[in-house]
Structure 1
Amino acid sequence: MGIEHSHHLENPNATTPPPKLELISSVPMPPVPDNAEAMTILVTLPPGSAGNPPHRHTGPAFGYMIKGEMIFELEGEPQRVVKAGESFWEPGGDVIHYQDANNLPGAETAFVVTMFGVAGQPMLIPVSAEELEERRDRRAPRP
């Protein structure tokens, strides 16, 4: 990520300041599947929500936290808290998404996510208890 991603068009007829563009995140060469469909989704987690059970996506997902805090955990990575104003992404495909829980017991958490999934397939594919057990060694140690 760098300033080279900032863009501004000069507008000689403008009577107000130009828009402010700020790069939040950048992912070089994300693995977008063939026959991809882009979906932008607003997700609102009620206070204390455990979120979705472990699942995967057919393609990458890019998100931005609008408000609150989310416990975010992908296979092979330690869980982390994503806060309002921060972004996150996941590659999709074979990677298990373990957690997307609301970290706040008394407030809603909301984020926008754009997913590039395979057209005609579900955006969330549940992972069975058997597969979770088979892949247990791929999950990062938890606090």
Structure 2
Amino acid sequence: MSTDQAHAHHLENPDKSGPPPKIDVVATVPGAPPAPEGAEAMTLLVTLPPNSPGAPPHRHSGPAYGYVIKGAVNFELEGEPARVLRPGDAFWEPGGDVIHYQDGNHLADEESAFVVTMFCAPGQPMLIPVSAEELEARRDRRAPQS
């Protein structure tokens, strides 16, 4: 059974007129890490102005799941090659020790935007910047840049 079939939804509602909602699976993450104990779930709409570099290299205290709704977003996690995400593309981050290097606007002339749900550990900030010294010490963990 495909992932789409396993997660297919069709909602009958005989008390209402009109067709039922259509539900499409945007993405799934098998074996995703659990949220930290007592985590706060937070959903953000991030709008990147034209040519915005996004956040500096950082990490999150828990996993994050999202998708691009407009434009094109540069996305790079430690150990993975950088890629450009476009509307409808989904992404996830395991959080914890993994560095998120890029989340900037790929476009110089229009906004880009994504929605992300993050599971933050209690008492921890949503985004924890990584120092230049740590980036240098972990340089070997970053995928080669083209």
The verdict on a shared fold, with TM-score over 0.5 as the criterion, is yes
Q: 1:119: Cα distance to partner?
A: 1.9
Structure 1 unmatched runs, 5+: none
Which residue in the other structure is 2:63 paired with? 60
Which residue in the other structure is 2:76 paired with? 73
Which residue in the other structure is 2:21 paired with? 19
Q: 1:11: Cα distance to partner?
A: 1.6
Which residue in the other structure is 1:35 paired with? 38
Quick one: distance in 1 between partners of 2:31 and 2:41?
16
Per-residue displacement from partner, 1:74-120 (whole Å, max 9, x unpaired)? 00000000101111111000000000010000000111100011022
Per-residue displacement from partner, 1:39-96 (whole Å, max 9, x unpaired)? 0011000000001110000000001111010000000000000101111111000000
Which residue in the other structure is 2:5 paired with? 3
Q: Give the secondary structure class of the aligned counterpart of 2:134.
A: helix
Quick one: distance in 1 between partners of 2:122 and 2:18?
42
Quick one: distance in 1 between partners of 2:78 and 2:48?
21
Q: Give the secondary structure class of the aligned counterpart of 1:84.
A: coil
Which residue in the other structure is 1:115 paired with? 118
Q: Give the secondary structure class of the aligned counterpart of 1:88.
A: strand
Number of residues of Structure 1 aligned to a counterpart in Structure 2: 143
Identity of aligned residues (%): 66
Q: 1:15: Cα distance to partner?
A: 1.7
Residue 75 of structure 1 aligns with an amino acid whose one-letter code is: E
Residue 126 of structure 2 aligns with an amino acid whose one-letter code is: M
Q: 1:9: Cα distance to partner?
A: 2.2
For the pair 1:90 / 2:93, whether they are aligned, the reply is yes
Normalising by structure 1, what TM-score?
A: 0.96
